[in-house]
Amino acid sequence: MIFDRITRTAFAVASGFLMLLAFGLITYAAYEVVRSLLVDGTNIATSLLEAVGYSVIAIAVFDVGKYLLEEEAIRAREMRQPAEARRSLTKFISTIAIAVFLEGLVAVFEAGKDQLPLMIYPTLLLLTGVALVIGLGIYQRLSAMVENETTDREQSKAPLRRRTREPKSA
C-alpha cells in the first residue's frame, strides 16, 4: 500500500515536471518570436519556424505528462481490458506520430530548397512518422484480432457453463 502511494506520487511529480517543461518551451518560443519582431536584422521566418518546432515538442511533452498523470498517478492500476489498453496506447502513439510529422514538416521548411544535404534529417523524421503509423496500424489490427478471438472463445464457453450449473430435474 505504501509502495503504491510512493509510486503514484513519483508519477505525479514527474508528470507535473514534464508539464512545466512544456509550458517553458511554449513561453520560450513566444519570447523568441517577440524578440525577433523587436530586433532589426533578425529573420522572423526562422524564428516562427523554430517557434512551431518548440510548440510541437511542447505538445508532445505535455501529452506524455498528461498520460503519466492519468494512467499512472490517478488511475494507478493496470488496465484490465485489452480494449482499454489499446485505446490508451493508440492515443499516446498518435500524439507522438503527429509531433514527429509536424517536426519533420518544420525541418523541411528550415532546410529550404537551397540546402539539399540538410533534407536528410527531415526525410528521416517523416519516415519515422510513417513507421510509427504503420506500426500502430499493425498493433491495432493484431490486438483487435486477439480481442475478437478472446470474446468468441468466452461466448462459446458461456452456454456450456450454464448447462453444467443448472440443477437436474427428475
The cell for 9 is 506520487
Q: Which residue from 51, 62, 68, 29 is spatially nearest to 103, judged by alpha carbons?
A: 51
Provide the 8-state DSSP code for 147.
H
Burial class (CB in 10 A: 0-12, 13-18, 19+), 5: exposed
The pLDDT-based confidence of 113 (bands split at 50, 70, 90) is low
Q: What is the pLDDT of residue 75?
A: 72
Tell me, yes or no, if the pTM score tops 0.85: no
Half-sphere exposure of 55 (CA within 13 A, CB side): 13
Determine the average pLDDT of the residues in 131-158. 84
CA 76 – CA 72 distance, rounded (Å): 5
Distance of CA 6 to the CA centre of its chain: 25
| Range of weakest confidence among 54-63, 85-94, 131-140, 150-159 | 150-159
Q: What is the pLDDT of residue 165?
A: 53
Look at residue 34 and tell me whether its pLDDT is greater than 60. Answer: yes
CB 79 within 8 A of CB 143: no
Look at residue 84 and tell me whether its pLDDT is greater than 60. Answer: yes
Q: What is the pLDDT of residue 137?
A: 93
Burial class (CB in 10 A: 0-12, 13-18, 19+), 113: exposed
